[in-house]
Amino acid sequence: MTYRLSSSRPWAAAWLLVLALLTLGAAPSSFAQIQLLGSSQASGGAVVTTPRVRAELVAHAPDGVTPGQPLWLGLQITHQPEWHTYWKNAGDSGLPTQLQWQLPAGLEAGEIDWPLPEAIRVGPLVNYGYEGQLLLPVPFKVAADFKAPAGDTVTLRLHASWLVCRVECIPEEGDFTLQLPVRGAIAMHAQAFAAAQANQPTALAGQSTAKVDGARLQVRIAGLPASLQGKELTLFPETPEVLEHAAIAGSGWTQAWDGAVWTADWPLSAMRGETPKELPFVLAPVAAATDGPVAWRTVAAVEGRWDSAPVAGVSPALAAALAANAQQPAAAPPASGTSGFWMALLGGLVGGLILNLMPCVFPVLAIKIVGFARHGQDRRALRIGGLAYGAGVLLSFLALGGLLLALRAAGQQLGWGFQLQSPGLVAAMAVLFTLLGLNLAGMFEFGRMLPQRWASAQVRNPAGEAFLSGVLAVAIASPCTAPFMGASLGLAIDMPAAQALTVFAALGVGMALPYVLASFLPALVRWLPRPGAWMETFRRAMAFPMFATVAWLVWVLGQQSGIDGAGALLVLLVALSALVWALTLGGKTRWLLGSSLLLATLWLGSAVGPHITRAAAAESAPTASASAAEWQPWSAERVSSLTAAGTPVFVDFTAAWCVTCQVNKHTTLNRDDVRADFAARGVTLLRADWTRRDPAITQALAALGRSGVPVYVLYAPGKPPHVMTELLSPAEVHGALQAL
């Protein structure tokens, strides 16, 4: 008797859905729509509202959109009490607001005319930013040959991103659209633009210098009004990571008047880079003037170099590292890049091999075992199937890697596993695996539901089935980060496109290699029993790993969209299962019941579907009395403030869709002895949840040389960050803590 496991070929009906889901979940348009943590607002007009700010795109054009005449646009941000956004130089932490314009031909945007900021103190840190209501004006040039589009209106689009902070910090973004009449004055917000203009620094005519003196910078600024002489001023450096901003909160800096010249002596930042030729500064009186300019701007010529200057308050080891970096020869980076490429390539190959052992890949690979058993006596079919599966894995890794690189080049802050940061894609994957589970359980056959022409083509082309099973394997495996993969992916992201794609190809080769070798070396699979009745039993048993994957995806969605989102998805999955069952019936019952259930499923989708993509409520900020043994939400500012105060910090970069992350939590991080060791050494535990897209976490991962999770980092005061392995063990954590 011959057994043919027809249901082990669900891929022919599912592969188009898989590819569509990967594309949908990663398309730029999915991020072009507003994605605000803790906000359910949509964008598309001139206003975006979040729980923390109200942002509006506004315009001012006294003569309309006319060639040669002034045109101003601006982003007006109204902050909720205690929240703030940042200036062009955010200070010790934070990120400036960024504007990306989409303009018709003939219009050119200038730079933001940043209003005078205020110093915002957060613990030991000093930042520069804005509270209350803020307008960031941008001047526009209208070309002499500008032609108005049809309808006498011009459409302007803006994508803006900002970091809004109180104690915690939340990255937000939005898309804005504004239609302006070509003719006629646009003066609705004239008062706001006038106020922003009045809050602009005035250029100084005097000469200014900045002289390097060891680990300090001596500033001399001439040309200030006589009315300011003898008064205390505040200095705002426009260049980040030059001065120690927190010095203004204490006695770390001094200022004095040398006749009509204002002088200041300021400590240099330990994070400074190359010495610039010029440094722009903004000065403002501590006591705001009642009339005249609110501030003055000057550009100081820099005398001397600070590259090898020792830094006050920095450990000798870090000072030596800074000096070594400053003296590194110019020829070193290319050599380092070459060795880094080969290390990334090797890490990708080994990581791809280990990826086969990750639990998220098991549902597909278990079915591949059945495929080996089915073709065990047909060597030609076995080899063709192995090569086709390998091609599916390899091309999928290249497509996913190429898409990731393209989106990052377009300005998206993305990392490995980015597709499962979209709740819509998580829900769609749950639908796909529900269908595969029902198929494996024997509820229906794809071949019976497909047109006869498609079904016969499936039988005639088993290589296509193997290829598409490789595509699905990558779709499931992509959220995982196996050992060696983390460093390789982190290096690949910053490589030239050709080298980066080679690393992604190495990942695919590593993942597919065992199955390609097995297809060419039948001795490796001779331990499998011959085709028989066991295959039908095994097939039905494999439905349960599929349903377990669905349960995991529902849990992931619950982390992203809350209990309402998870509940909505479960309701839709039940309705979908009932619809599939109805389509397996015969006669008129199939069409009557199937049509009714289809309409019911569509109605449910429209009624509860919005809960799936809605963001879950943001967690409240941790209280000051939180125990050192409790996990607290991560922020870059919190890490900086804790380490500056001498407190060691352990950060868990994780995501709900990362299976390795969840395994490490149960096997290591939640162990009593590990938690006790953290508490005994006074380590603060922070968790950076990357389940939903978070540019701040993406940037932090990139700074650590990683592009995916899990990542575990121990920050010790005065020491460089210690990055641990992806598969975390209690022994590794204890060893790192002993070195504190």
Same structural domain, 395 and 508 = yes
Q: Are residues 190 and 208 in the same domain?
A: no
Low-confidence winner among 87-101, 313-327, 391-405 (lowest mean pLDDT):
313-327
Mean pLDDT of 401-414: 61
Say whether both 589 and 669 belong to one domain: no
What pLDDT is attached to residue 7? 39
Establish if 623 belongs to a structural domain. Answer: no
Span 427-446, pLDDT tens digits = 877 887 788 778 778 787 65
Q: Please determine, for residue 35, whether its predicted confidence score (pLDDT) is greater than 50.
A: no
Q: CA 298, CA 216: separation in Å to the nearest integer?
A: 19
Same domain, 24 and 162: no
Residue type, position 76, single letter? Q
Q: What is the pLDDT of residue 34?
A: 28
pLDDT > 90 fraction of the chain, expressed in percent and rounded? 11
Domain with residue 182: its CATH number is 2.60.40.1250
**Whole-prediction pTM value?**
0.43
CB 211 within 8 Å of CB 221: no
Contact between 717 and 724 under an 8 Å Cβ cutoff? The reply is: no
Q: Is residue 37 part of a domain?
A: no
The reported pLDDT for the residue numbered 230 is 85
Which CATH number belongs to the domain containing residue 688 in this structure?
3.40.30.10
Q: Is residue 321 situated within a structural domain?
A: no
pLDDT of residue 713 exceeding 70: yes
- The chain-wide mean pLDDT, for the chain, equals 74
The CA–CA distances, whole Å, from 365 to 515, 577, 648 equal: 9, 24, 42
Let me know whether 352 and 391 are in one domain.
yes
Determine the pLDDT at residue 612.
79
Checking if the pLDDT of 503 tops 50, the result is yes
Q: Assess whether pLDDT exceeds 60 at residue 1.
A: no
**32, pLDDT greater than 50:** no
Do 631 and 685 meet the contact criterion of CB atoms below 8 Å apart?
yes
Query: Could you tell me if residue 622 is inside a domain?
Result: no
The answer to whether the bond into 710 is cis (omega within 30° of 0) is yes
pLDDT, residue 674, reads 92
Q: What percent of the chain has pLDDT over 70?
A: 70
Instruction: Tell me: do 119 and 242 sit in the same domain.
Output: no
Q: Whose CA is closest to 228, among 262, 178, 277?
A: 262
Last residue of a domain, one of 150, 170, 199: 199
Distance CA 450, CA 12 (A): 10
Q: Do 480 and 360 meet the contact criterion of CB atoms below 8 Å apart?
A: yes
| Confidence band of 487 (pLDDT split at 50, 70, 90) | low
pLDDT confidence of residue 479: 58
What count of residues does the chain have?
740
Long-range contacts, stretch 641-645, CB < 8 angstroms, 24+ apart: 641/122, 641/123, 641/124, 641/125, 642/684, 642/715, 643/715, 643/716, 643/717, 644/123, 644/124, 644/125, 644/717, 645/123, 645/124
The answer, yes or no, to whether residue 112 has pLDDT greater than 90, is: yes
Q: Is residue 328 domain-resident? A: no
CATH number at residue 219: 2.60.40
- How confident is the model over 125-169, as pLDDT tens digits? 788 999 999 999 999 988 887 876 666 778 889 999 998 887 677
Residues in a beta bridge with 54: 49, 78
- Eight-class DSSP state of 236: E
Out of 169-183, 246-260, 275-289, 325-339, which region has the weakest mean confidence (pLDDT)?
325-339
pLDDT at 731: 92
Q: Which of 199, 227, 252 is the last residue of a domain?
A: 199
Per-residue DSSP letters for 288-335? --SSS-S-EEEEEEEES--TT---TT--HHHHHHHHHHHT--TTHHHH
The angle at the Cα of 602, spanning 600 to 607, to the nearest 5 degrees, equals 90
Q: Are residues 491 and 589 in the same domain?
A: yes
Tell whether the model's pLDDT for residue 226 goes beyond 90.
no
380, part of any domain: yes
Per-residue confidence (pLDDT) for residue 523, from 0 to 100: 66
Q: Angle at the Cα of 738 (from 737 to 740), degrees rounded to 5?
A: 70
C-alpha–C-alpha distance, residues 710 and 727, integer Å: 8
CB 211 within 8 A of CB 300: no
Q: Helices 485-493 & 695-703, crossing angle to 10 degrees?
A: 100
Mean pLDDT of 548-555: 82
- 193 and 207 part of one domain: no
132 and 272 co-located in one domain: no
Residue 42 within any structural domain of the chain: no
Structural domain of 553: 9-32+334-613
pLDDT tier for residue 307 given thresholds of 50, 70 and 90: low
Last residue of a domain, one of 613, 645, 679: 613
Residue 292 pLDDT greater than 80, yes or no: no
Q: What is the mean pLDDT of residues 53-65?
A: 86
Assess whether 172 and 51 both reside in one domain.
yes
Q: Which residue has the higher pLDDT, 617 or 715?
A: 715
Count of structural domains, the chain: 4
In 417-490 the beta strands, taken as DSSP E runs, fall at none
**Mean pLDDT computed over 218-232:** 87
Give pLDDT, residue 375: 55
Q: What is the predicted pLDDT for the residue at 14?
A: 45
pLDDT of 652 reads 94
How far is Cα 375 from Cα 387, in angstroms, rounded to an integer? Answer: 14
CB atoms within 10 A of CB 527: 6
Q: In this structure, are residues 545 and 363 in contact, taking their beta carbons and an 8 Å threshold?
A: yes
Q: Which helix (H) or strand (E) holds 383?
A: helix 379-409
pLDDT, residue 702, reads 74
In a domain, 318, yes or no: no
- Same domain flag for 346 and 457: yes
For residues 422 and 537, membership in a common domain is answered with yes
- pLDDT value at position 44? 52
Task: State the pLDDT at residue 10.
Answer: 43
Strands 169-181 and 153-165: antiparallel
Report how far apart the first and last C-alpha atoms of the chain are (Å, whole number): 67
Query: Can you tell me the mean pLDDT for 405-426?
Result: 60
Q: Is residue 276 over pLDDT 60?
A: yes
